[in-house]
Amino acid sequence: MATKALQAAASGTFSLGGDLTIHRLGFGAMRITGEGIWGEPKDPETAKKVLRRAVELGVNFIDTADAYGPEVSERLIAEALYPYPKDLVIATKGGLTRQGPNKWLPVGRPEYLQQCVEMSLRRLKVERIDLWQLHRIDAKVPVEESLGVIKELQKQGKIRHVGLSEVNAAEIEQAQKVLPIVSVQNQYNLGDRRHEQVVAYATKHKLGFIPWFPVAAGQLARAGGPLDSAARRHGVTVAQLSLAWLLHHSPVMLPIPGTSSVSHLEENVASADVQLSAEEWKAIEEDAAKQ
């Protein structure tokens, strides 16, 4: 068992873009904003405590976006953690506009994406974004145009690496013709494996796969269900088992569970220590497939 201060290290490491080594279990900073991912959190000081505690627990990969709040998540990260530890990698996203709580609209116009990058740099107080991700491909704008300006910003040294979100393998390959893509962020968990082909593609090409909504929910996680029963047998929670499965499933998997609670954060990070046999994982996957 890893010591508490180093629990995230138990998840192993991944080399993002071939030159940024991170612990595979990261932190998603979406939930530190207000309800509907809109506005300020109810308790900003607690949100900052969560961020600081994540770093204390060995988390050195934090994922955020300019649309979280909007702007709130990035600003709180800077307020809580700047000046940043040398090994901390902060990933952010751009390309989604906000019209209200739980409302999102993609805008991929080059001039807008350039503004997204410039403002993220300012809010995060950095000269270069380690990983900038296109939050969504805008159907109204050719991806070559959207990523063309990102390529220029990368050449200027304002972006280190580039990733995509909610894409398929063909879209990744199309984007790769414009600039190198090092990561993919899609919705994925034990109970929602619709992007399994993208996981396989990312694994083959050593792209980081960042699953958002990483904890299985619904029927699979119900009380007395297969995941709940397996979790009880091993003395862990359903959330911990869900995250541990992701880490087991592919060496490029980078789960980013998010929370606004320090205790919940500690529970999530402890999932890095959960170990099951290959046979046990197979049985859980088979049960999940039946749901």
Q: Which two tokens stand for residue 271?
A: 């999932």
Rounded to whole angstroms, the Cα distance separating 60 from 91 reads 11
Please state, in angstroms and rounded to a whole number, the distance separating the CA atoms of residues 29 and 64: 5
Is the sign of the CA dihedral 118, 120, 125, 129 positive or negative?
A: negative
- Taking alpha carbons only, the member of 120, 27, 118 closest to residue 67 is 120
- Alpha-carbon distance values, 220 to 8, 229, 284 (Å): 26, 10, 10
Instruction: Enumerate the β-bridge partners of residue 27.
Output: 62
> Strands 183-187 and 208-212, how do they pair?
parallel
Over the Cα atoms of the chain, what is R_g?
Answer: 18
Q: Is 188 a catalytic residue?
A: no
Query: Hey, which residues does 93 pair with through a beta bridge?
Result: 133
Which of 68, 82, 188, 201 is catalytic? The answer is 68
Contacts of 38 (CB under 8 A, 6+ apart): 69, 98, 100, 101, 102
The Cα angle at residue 170 between residues 167 and 174, in degrees rounded to 5 = 95
Say what the alpha-carbon torsion angle 29, 34, 35, 37 is, to the nearest 10 degrees. -50
**Closest Cα partner for 133 from 197, 81, 61, 37?**
61
Paired with 106 in beta bridges are 96
**Which residues are tagged catalytic?**
68
